[in-house]
Amino acid sequence: MQLTLNIPDETIALLEARGVRIPEFVEEMLAKEAQTTSVNTDRSAASATVSRFLECQKDFRLDGLKVRDLIDEGRWS
């Protein structure tokens, strides 16, 4: 694959003055972008899972018992 970038001369001069090699810099930026995309995909999957869990939770009933009632019941058993 061939990629063409248009980087302003001022930016190149600034990077080179700081000792940054342009090819390595571009590869690093692309790698970071790929990681960010991967993290966002993972977060999207997690968000979808939480949404499904909350949807299922709406139909879950304990015959009027509260979580606190169940905890207290467990203490006395």
User: What pLDDT does 8 receive?
Assistant: 85
Other CB atoms within 10 A of residue 25 CB: 14
- How many residues would you count in the chain? 77
pLDDT, average across residues 20-29: 84
Question: What's the chain's average pLDDT?
Answer: 78
Q: What six digits make up the tokens of 41?
A: 């995909």
Q: Is the pTM higher than 0.75?
A: no
Whether residue 32 contacts residue 24, with contact meaning beta carbons closer than 8 Å, is answered with no
How many whole angstroms separate alpha carbon 10 and alpha carbon 13? 5
Whether residue 26 contacts residue 5, with contact meaning beta carbons closer than 8 Å, is answered with yes
User: What pLDDT does 44 receive?
Assistant: 82
User: What pLDDT does 62 receive?
Assistant: 73
